[in-house]
Amino acid sequence: MKENEQINFKLTDALWEDMAVLEGVPVSSLVVWDSSLVDDNLDDPVTDENRVYVDFELYLSNRTLLELYGVAVLPDESSEALVGLDAIGEVLGRLADEGAIVQEISSDQENRLVMSLASQEGRSLLTWVTAWLETTWDSLPEEAL
């Protein structure tokens, strides 16, 4: 992490203003990691099959890189979080393949980041984010979905 980079845990008014400009920005690529920074804080051991929280990098077309940590991915507000690394990666990858954009930046009752991603096909996902880091990217990773 560079000296001026800061991991964020709460979506303050100032951070929301900075991140609101990302609404409508297309997703260029994303990479889902097979472990999460929150794994050690969970009561039960995490396997690929029971994984609920993932870390992933979201590469946006405006060269913004969002490193998202401890993310629960939900089909909608009334659904439970997706379970399983393969299932989560597949759904995020499909959305990216369908021309995903950042639809909305918001927060929950505890001021945690909630980001809605939507595809050109009309599908959408909600991501509840434990922590995040915003930087920029120069080239897309080879392992991207």
- The string of pLDDT tens digits covering residues 26-65 is 999 999 999 999 998 888 899 999 999 999 999 999 999 9
User: Which carries the bigger pLDDT value, residue 120 or residue 4?
Assistant: 120
Give the domain range for residue 57. 13-136
Asked if the structure places residue 4 within a domain, the reply is no
In a domain, 21, yes or no: yes
CA atoms within 13 A on the CB side of 60: 21
Q: Is 6 contained in some domain?
A: no
The verdict on residue 91 lying in a domain is yes
90-133 residue pLDDT tens? 999 999 999 999 999 999 999 999 999 999 888 999 999 999 99
Report the C-alpha gap between 29 and 97 in whole angstroms: 9
Domains in the chain, number: 1
pLDDT at 143: 65
- Which tens digits make up the pLDDT trace of 17-26? 999 999 999 9
In degrees and rounded to multiples of 5, residue 115 shows phi and psi of: -120, 130
Instruction: Look at the pTM and tell me if it is higher than 0.75.
Output: yes
Residue 42 maps to a domain: yes
In a domain, 25, yes or no: yes
Q: Is residue 132 a part of any domain in this protein?
A: yes
75 occurs within a structural domain: yes
